[in-house]
Chain A
Amino acid sequence: EVQLVESGGTLVQPGGSLRLSCAASGFTLSTYEMNWVRQAPGKGLEWVSYISSSGKTIYYADSVKGRFTISRDNAENSLCLQMDSLRAEDTAVYYCARRSGLDIWGQGTMVTVSS
């Protein structure tokens, strides 16, 4: 079964850092473009970041540019999102999603930024 599983979400203080991971099963993640999307509580979907299959092309939403870093570990078949200088408004469920057309999504991991 094709599946994505996110992990790493937790409660963190404003200004803190967190690293999210996304593991793939049923397919080889290294051959696909990948994205992160988030959803604040009770709100809509917001695209966060994209990385090409080679890792050479990367895009970020303006709201996270300079604070978040997307990367991939093709040997481990995983995707990461390093989140620094976290703010209250970064509180959300974070999803990883496959392909530029976001065909397959993980179940999400909750990040809460609060003191």
Chain B
Amino acid sequence: DIQMTQSPSSLSASVGDRVTITCRASQGVRNDLAWYQQKPGKAPKRLIYAASSLQSGVPSRFSGSGSGTEFTLTISSLQPEDFATYYCLQHNTYPRTFGQGTKVEIK
């Protein structure tokens, strides 16, 4: 199985900060990588697909990069509605595997 190691597990940041979350795959997944945002009590919402493509309707302050084994999600200027937990997902092989999640909290 491919392991997805996400870091950090949590972070504190202020509104307006630039935030970067990293996901590392234990073996190459090409660009078959997605990022999700989840708020308490809600379903995950896909932000980024194919490692760097922005899902329709998602603000442009979100961006993704990487290929192979190293991926990043960047929020260029954190907004109050961005405080949530973020997950990466590899969909290159089965079983699909998620990162452990990164909780973004208010500083």
Contacts and interface: CB of A to CB of B under 8 A. Distances in A.
A46 B95 CA distance: 10
B87 interface: yes
Contacts of A61: 95
Interface stretch (B12-20, B42-50, B67-75, B76-84): B42-50
B46 A103 contact: yes
Interface in B38-96: 38, 42-46, 49, 55, 87, 89, 91, 94-96
Contacts of B46: 101-104
Interface of A: 35, 44-47, 50, 59, 61-62, 95, 100-108
The majority secondary structure among interface residues of chain B is: loop
A107 B96 contact: no
Given A101-B49, A102-B89, A103-B49, A45 B44 contact: yes
Given A102-B46, A104-B46, 10 more contacts: A45-B89, A47-B89, A59-B95, A95-B43, A102-B34, A102-B96, A103-B55, A105-B44, A107-B42, A108-B43
B43 A47 contact: no
B56 to A, nearest CB: 10
Nearest to B46: A103
Nearest to A58: B94
Nearest to B99: A44
B87 A106 contact: no
Contact of B43 (A35, A62, A103, A106): A106
B101 A44 contact: yes
